[in-house]
Amino acid sequence: MSSADVIEDADALTVGRRIRQLRTARGMTLEDLASAVDRAPSQLSMIENGRREPKLSLLQTIARALGTTIDALLAGEPLDERSTMEIALERAMKGQTFQTLGIAPFRIAKTLPTDVLKVMLALHGEIERLRDERAATPEEARRANVELRDLMRTQDNYFADLEQQAADILAAVKHPGGPLTQRIASEIAAHLGFTLHYAPDLPQTTRSVADIANGRLYLSSRVPTKSDARTAVLQALSSRILGHGEPRSYAEFLRQRVETNYLTGALLIPEAHVVPVLQDAKARRAISIEDLRDAYSVSYETAAHRFTNLATRHLGIPVHFLKVHESGTITKAYENDDVNFPTDRLGAIEGQMCCRRWTSRVVFDVEDRFNPYYQYTDTGNGTYWCTARVEASSEGMHSVSVGVRFDDTRWFVGRDTPNRGVSKHSVEACCRRAPAELEERWRENSWPNVKTPRTLLATLPTGSFPGVDTTDVYEFLEAHAPR
C-alpha cells in the first residue's frame, strides 16, 4: 500500500489535526517541530490543516519528533473537542451549503473562540436540515398533495376565512357586486398600496413580480389576447392580502398556491352575489358552468373551481372536478362525492392516467368545441354525470370537467344527454391495458418517447418558489426599480 493510500484511509485532515494536538500538548511551536524534522514551518502548517498529504517517510520523522509512533498518528481514537469541531467546520466549508451561500473558505485561527465554532456548526446543521426539508422528493410532493386534498374534502372545498377576506376587500373598494372589472382590480391594487406596471421583459418563469419595497406590481405587456388580465393582477395581490411569506416547505408552498387561487376566484365571483344566482338556477333545474363562466367573464376552469367551492355548502350538492392533460394525465383533482379516481400507493391522484372512458378523456375526441360535452359514466362505484370542455394552455390542451352523482343530475343543464360510457378502472384493468391483439403485435416493436407536461414537473419542488428563476427576478427588479 502506498503512503497516499495510508494517509487517505486515515483522512489527511484528521491526521493533520492529530499532529497539531500532540505538538501543542508537548509545548512545541510550529517552528520547533519544523526544525526537528528539517522542513519549512509553512509546509508543516499545510499538513496540519489537511491541505497536503505527507509522505510516509516524513510522517515517520514527525512521529519520532513528537515522541510517538506512526500508528498513533493514524489511529482512530477521537481527537479533543476543539480539533473535532475544527475538522467538522473545515469539511462544511468544502461542502455545497457554503458554496451555495457564497461563503468562501477561511482559515480557522487558534484565537477563534470554541463557542463561535459551536454556533457556526449549529447554524450549518440547521441550514442543512432546512435544505433537506424544503427540497422535497417526488414522494413528499405527492404526500403534500394528498394531505391538502383531504383538507379540502373535509371542508367541502369551502374556506370561510378566505370568503370573508374577499368580501372585506370588495367592500373596501365599494364594489357594487357582479362581475369584477379591470378598473376594480386596479382599485384593489391601489388600496393595497401598489401601482401596476407592464414590462416586455418580465422573467419567463413568472406571471407577475411584486416590488414590495417600492409598491410596484409588474405584469407582462405581452399578455395573449385570450388571457384575462384581471387574474394575473388578483393572484399577485392575493398573496399580499393573505400575508404569505417565503414558504418553508413544499406543503406550505402548495397551500399558499391553493389559497391564492381560491381568493382570486372569490374576488372574481363574489360569494354574496353568486350564491343567489346559483340557488335560483337550482330552483329552475338549470345549473350550468357555462352560464357561470359567461356571467362573470372568467375562464371555464375558474368557473368550475368556484362552483366546487360553493356547491356543497350552499346548494347541498357533492361534486368532483378534474383537469386532464391531452396526454391523459390528471393534473388537478377534487371530489367529495365518492367518485373513485385512480391513485398511486400514497393516495395521490395527480400524475395518474385518467380512464379513457371518462368524460375528461372522451371530450378530446369531440369535434364540437363550441358547445359543452355531457356524459353519463357507469362505474364500479355508481353512475356519474359530467360536463366538460377543452381549453388551451402553455402546456398544451387540457380538459376541465365537473361532475355529480346520478341523483344530483336533475339540477343541471345537459342532464338529457344520450352520451354514455362505462369505466371499470377502479376494479379491473379497463382501458389501462391495450387490446390483446394490439399488445401482442406492438409491445416488442415500439419505443415511445414520453412527453411530460411541465405542470407535472412543477410538483417536483426546488428552491423557495418552485419553478422560479430567482436570479432573473432579482435582475429584473434591479433594472426596473425607481432611481
HEC profile for 351-420?
CCECCCCCHHHHHHHCCCCCCCEEEEEEECCEEEEEEEEEEEECCEEEEEEEEEEHHHHHHECCCCCCCE
Note whether residue 392 is domain-resident.
yes
Q: Which of 25-29, 330-334, 461-465 has the highest mean predicted lDDT (pLDDT)?
A: 330-334
**Number of neighbouring beta carbons within 10 Å of residue 348:** 23
Note whether residue 242 is domain-resident.
yes
What integer pLDDT is reported at residue 78 of this predicted model? 58
Note whether residue 182 is domain-resident.
yes
- Considering the chain, what is the average pLDDT of its residues? 83
The mean per-residue pLDDT over the stretch 443-448 comes to 66
What integer pLDDT is reported at residue 220 of this predicted model? 84
Report yes or no: 93 and 105 within 8 Å, Cβ to Cβ. Answer: yes
What integer pLDDT is reported at residue 460 of this predicted model? 43
List of residues 6+ apart from 10 with CB closer than 8 A? 73, 74, 76
The answer on 29 and 173 residing in a single domain is no
CATH (domain of 358): 1.10.10.2910
Picking from 420, 436, 452, the residue at the C-terminal end of a domain is 436
The answer on 387 and 264 residing in a single domain is yes
CATH (domain of 9): 1.10.260.40
Distance from C-alpha of 110 to C-alpha of 38, rounded to nearest angstrom: 24
Q: Please report the sign of the dihedral spanned by the C-alpha atoms of residue 175, residue 193, residue 233, residue 249.
A: negative
The answer on 253 and 156 residing in a single domain is yes
The answer on 152 and 67 residing in a single domain is no
**Number of neighbouring beta carbons within 10 Å of residue 94:** 11
pTM over the 0.85 mark: no
Note whether residue 91 is domain-resident.
no
The answer on 183 and 71 residing in a single domain is no
- Using alpha carbons, list the distances in angstroms from residue 332 to 95, 146, 350, 399: 38, 11, 6, 11
Q: Would the pLDDT of 53 be above 90?
A: no
Instruction: Indicate the range of 201-205, 231-235, 454-458 predicted with least confidence.
Output: 454-458
The answer on 145 and 10 residing in a single domain is no
What integer pLDDT is reported at residue 457 of this predicted model? 43
Report yes or no: 278 and 310 within 8 Å, Cβ to Cβ. Answer: yes
CA torsion 239→245→250→252, rounded to 10°?
Answer: -70
The helix/strand/coil state of 218 is strand
Note whether residue 453 is domain-resident.
no
Instruction: Indicate the range of 38-47, 77-86, 266-275, 447-456 predicted with least confidence.
Output: 447-456
Instruction: Indicate the range of 121-135, 148-162, 264-278 predicted with least confidence.
Output: 121-135
Give the CA radius of gyration of the chain. Answer: 32
Show the cell assigned to 86.
Answer: 475544527
Distance from C-alpha of 220 to C-alpha of 157, rounded to nearest angstrom: 31
The answer on 56 and 146 residing in a single domain is no
Report yes or no: 375 and 362 within 8 Å, Cβ to Cβ. Answer: yes
DSSP 309-353: HHHHHHH----EEEEEETTSBEEEEEESS-------TT---TTSB
Q: Which domain holds residue 55?
A: 3-79
Q: Vertex 270, ends 268 and 275: CA angle to 5°?
A: 130
Instruction: Indicate the range of 1-5, 64-68, 346-350 predicted with least confidence.
Output: 1-5
Report yes or no: 387 and 414 within 8 Å, Cβ to Cβ. Answer: yes
The confidence band for 462, taking pLDDT boundaries of 50, 70 and 90, is very low
The answer on 200 and 72 residing in a single domain is no
The total number of structural domains that make up the chain: 2
**Helix (H) or strand (E) segment spanning residue 255:** helix 250-268
- Alpha helix locations (H) across 54-137? 56-65, 70-73, 81-93, 96-101, 114-134
Residue 219's beta-bridge partner residues?
A: 198, 208
Distance from C-alpha of 20 to C-alpha of 86, rounded to nearest angstrom: 12
For 113-149, give one letter per residue: b (16+ CB within 10 A) or e.
eeeebeebbeebeeeeeeeeebebeeebbbbbbbeeb
Report yes or no: 460 and 140 within 8 Å, Cβ to Cβ. Answer: no
Q: Would the pLDDT of 466 be above 80?
A: no
Q: Would the pLDDT of 468 be above 90?
A: no
Note whether residue 115 is domain-resident.
no
The answer on 394 and 278 residing in a single domain is yes
Distance from C-alpha of 282 to C-alpha of 293, rounded to nearest angstrom: 16
The confidence band for 464, taking pLDDT boundaries of 50, 70 and 90, is low
pLDDT per position as a tens digit, 380-429: 889 999 999 999 877 789 999 999 999 999 999 999 999 999 887 755 55
Burial of 424 (0-12, 13-18, 19+ CB in 10 A): middle
Distance from C-alpha of 143 to C-alpha of 251, rounded to nearest angstrom: 9
Picking from 51, 79, 107, the residue at the C-terminal end of a domain is 79
The answer on 144 and 45 residing in a single domain is no
Report yes or no: 265 and 235 within 8 Å, Cβ to Cβ. Answer: no
The confidence band for 378, taking pLDDT boundaries of 50, 70 and 90, is very high
The answer on 382 and 283 residing in a single domain is yes
Show the cell assigned to 121.
Answer: 456548526
Burial of 91 (0-12, 13-18, 19+ CB in 10 A): middle
What integer pLDDT is reported at residue 459 of this predicted model? 46
What integer pLDDT is reported at residue 473 of this predicted model? 76
Note whether residue 360 is domain-resident.
yes
The answer on 327 and 398 residing in a single domain is yes
Name the residue with higher pLDDT: 134 or 308: 308
For 252-288, give one letter per residue: b (16+ CB within 10 A) or e.
ebbbbbbbbbbbbbbbbbbbebbeebbeebbeeeebb
What integer pLDDT is reported at residue 480 of this predicted model? 84
Note whether residue 44 is domain-resident.
yes
The mean per-residue pLDDT over the stretch 301-330 comes to 94
pLDDT per position as a tens digit, 237-266: 998 899 888 777 778 888 998 999 999 999
Picking from 47, 79, 111, the residue at the C-terminal end of a domain is 79
The confidence band for 458, taking pLDDT boundaries of 50, 70 and 90, is very low
Distance from C-alpha of 145 to C-alpha of 347, rounded to nearest angstrom: 9
Distance from C-alpha of 319 to C-alpha of 321, rounded to nearest angstrom: 7
The mean per-residue pLDDT over the stretch 142-165 comes to 91
Percent of the chain with pLDDT over 90: 35
The mean per-residue pLDDT over the stretch 27-36 comes to 88
Q: How far is CA 7 from the centre of its chain?
A: 44
Please report how many Cα atoms fall inside a 13 Å half-sphere around the Cα of residue 475, on the Cβ side: 8
